């Protein structure tokens, strides 16, 4: 016997296939798919054993492996993109799809998806119309701009605006403190380059004065661009030029002012202590010629890039062949139109738009919900210490980096298994649960968990806890 070889601990594929649970599944999934699933499960275990992982005996029994194969088969039938419980506390999580839509907006997208729609037809005249008409007026009302248009995302909006205003090598002045990277591959100098504009850096990283802009102006200068530093802040000895001041100066020199505000906040959140994010209408009021923002950040709508501002620029952008390449689809427009409708009354927006509701949930409510969770987990011989802690949530997604939203988290300190093991099992079950990890603990922040998800979250926690109790109890 060679007991040194850990791979000998794995049962044969044929042995796992004898398990009753898989015999049933062969009827609905077919023998080939079931065998394949068993091979995959065994393959994963083999890799882990080869990597020196000390797997529990209970994790290598034919019955357990058959169950894993069953789960794998069932999961393969799930849609690839599917709902996840976000217990990270990050309200705008780019990896989790940013803003969840309001019920009404989601419904509109669903209805549009499964039917023909009046996307480009004027129903009263029967004539062809433009898809942008579904959102144009609402965008102008929301922002106070004279014209507006929508493309697939803010990155596309930025490229289009730069092409229109400064394409063909004209210069755009940008403060060195605003040459940001938003993540992915959105870096301002690269965006400039692909749009054919020439970047002219102004000032220093921490200090940019009006006189710096003045010094940089030349015959080729077409515009000045302000970019909201969405995802970082420079603190200490800093100075930037206020938008009103920049506008007054730029317009005296016939320069166009572009304001990339990023997050698209459309209501004042300062009563909730959430300050520091530019409000769309304030930029228009300050005189910016073109204002850009995302649809799926603080606006709380579908992925989109909004371009708001002067009629002649918007018309010029719409004539760019590249505009057609980044036009929004019917589902996006349907959801965006309904999202914008909610903003006709700011209170309604705060109630209906999930992002705004999550950010403004009173911290006492979160405390009560966490306590109730803790009580439910208590007394179930839960294999972890559970506590409720005051903590901080972040809007995330490149927004409100400085603004700490007070919250409460459910802290789970496992008695069995590591916090990584717990996080893995929470992530890979159904529905998947995403949490925060800290030294030896998991943090579940209910600020980003919808009340309708609480029961499922509780169930998932109990399921994962049970799996650790079982593996500890077996020989």
Q: 278 or 383: whose CB is closer to ligand PLP? A: 278
Q: 308 or 409: whose CB is closer to ligand PLP? A: 308
DSSP 148: E
Q: 396 or 417: whose CB is closer to ligand PLP? A: 396
CB of 401 to ligand PLP, least distance (A): 10
CB of 216 to ligand PLP, least distance (A): 21
Q: Do residues 467 and 438 make contact, with C-beta atoms less than 8 angstroms apart?
A: no
Q: 262 or 414: whose CB is closer to ligand PLP? A: 262
Nearest residue to the partner ligand PLP, using Cβ = 262
CB of 329 to ligand PLP, least distance (A): 15
Using CA atoms, how far apart are residues 389 and 371, in angstroms rounded to an integer?
10
CB of 22 to ligand PLP, least distance (A): 44
CB of 222 to ligand PLP, least distance (A): 20
Q: 17 or 192: whose CB is closer to ligand PLP? A: 192
The residues binding ligand PLP (CB under 6 A) are 153-155, 182, 186, 227-228, 230, 260, 262-263, 294, 305, 398
Using CA atoms, how far apart are residues 457 and 432, in angstroms rounded to an integer?
9
Rg (CA), the chain: 27
CB of 230 to ligand PLP, least distance (A): 3
329 CB-near residues (< 8 Å, 6+ apart): none
177 CB-near residues (< 8 Å, 6+ apart): 203, 204, 205, 206, 207, 208, 229, 234, 238, 240
CB of 81 to ligand PLP, least distance (A): 18
DSSP string, 361-428: S-HHHHHHHHHHHHHHHTTS--SEEEEEEEEEE--BTTB-SS-PEEEEEEEEEESSS-HHHHHHHHHH
Q: 294 or 467: whose CB is closer to ligand PLP? A: 294
DSSP string, 237-295: S-B---HHHHHHHHHHTT-EEEEEEES-B-S--GGGT--SSPBHHHHHHTT-SEEEEES
Using CA atoms, how far apart are residues 228 and 286, in angstroms rounded to an integer?
15
Residue positions counted in the chain:
475
Q: 65 or 160: whose CB is closer to ligand PLP? A: 160
CB of 212 to ligand PLP, least distance (A): 21
Q: 171 or 260: whose CB is closer to ligand PLP? A: 260
Q: Do residues 284 and 309 make contact, with C-beta atoms less than 8 angstroms apart?
A: yes
Using CA atoms, how far apart are residues 282 and 266, in angstroms rounded to an integer?
9
């Amino acid at each position: 016997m060679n007991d040194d070889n850990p791979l000998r601990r794995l049962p044969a594929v044929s042995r796992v296939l004898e398990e009753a649970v898989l015999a049933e599944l062969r009827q609905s999934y077919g023998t080939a798919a079931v065998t394949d699933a068993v091979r995959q499960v065994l393959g994963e275990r083999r890799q882990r054993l080869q990597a020196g992982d000390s797997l529990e005996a209970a994790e290598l029994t034919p019955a357990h492996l058959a169950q894993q194969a069953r789960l794998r088969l069932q999961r393969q039938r799930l849609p690839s993109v599917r709902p996840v419980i976000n217990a990270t506390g990050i309200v705008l999580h780019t990896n989790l799809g940013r803003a969840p839509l309001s019920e009404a907006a989601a419904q509109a997208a669903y209805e549009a998806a499964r039917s023909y729609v009046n996307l480009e037809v004027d129903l009263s005249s029967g004539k062809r119309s433009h898809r942008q008409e579904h959102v144009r007026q609402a965008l102008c009302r929301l922002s106070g701009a004279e014209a507006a248009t929508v493309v697939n995302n803010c990155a596309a909006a930025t490229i289009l605006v730069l092409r229109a205003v400064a394409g063909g090598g004209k210069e755009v002045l940008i403060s060195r403190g605003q040459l940001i990277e938003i993540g992915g591959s959105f870096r301002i100098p690269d965006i400039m380059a692909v749009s054919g504009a020439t970047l002219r850096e102004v000032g220093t990283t921490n200090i940019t004065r009006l006189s710096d802009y003045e010094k940089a102006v030349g015959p080729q200068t077409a515009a000045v661009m302000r970019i909201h530093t969405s995802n970082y802040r420079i603190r200490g000895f800093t100075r930037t030029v206020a938008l009103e001041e920049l506008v007054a100066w730029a317009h005296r020199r016939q320069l166009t002012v572009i304001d990339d505000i990023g997050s698209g906040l459309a209501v004042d959140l300062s009563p909730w202590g959430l300050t520091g994010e530019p409000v769309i209408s304030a930029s228009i009021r300050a005189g910016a010629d073109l204002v850009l923002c995302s649809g799926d950040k603080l606006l709380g709508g579908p992925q989109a890039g909004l371009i708001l501002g002067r009629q002649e620029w918007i018309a010029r952008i719409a004539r760019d062949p590249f505009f057609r390449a980044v036009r929004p689809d019917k589902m996006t427009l349907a959801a965006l139109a309904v999202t914008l409708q909610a903003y006709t009354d700011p209170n309604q927006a705060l109630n209906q738009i999930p992002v705004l509701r999550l950010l403004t949930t009173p911290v006492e409510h979160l405390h009560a919900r966490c306590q109730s969770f803790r009580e439910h987990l208590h007394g179930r011989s839960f294999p972890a210490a559970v506590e409720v802690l005051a903590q901080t949530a972040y809007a995330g997604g490149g927004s409100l980096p400085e603004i700490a939203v007070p919250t409460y988290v459910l802290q789970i300190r496992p008695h069995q298994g590591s916090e990584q093991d717990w996080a893995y099992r929470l992530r890979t079950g159904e529905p998947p649960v995403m949490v925060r990890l800290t030294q030896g603990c998991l943090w579940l922040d209910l600020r980003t968990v919808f009340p309708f998800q609480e029961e499922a979250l509780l169930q998932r926690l109990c399921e994962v806890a049970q799996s650790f109790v079982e593996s500890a109890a077996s020989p």
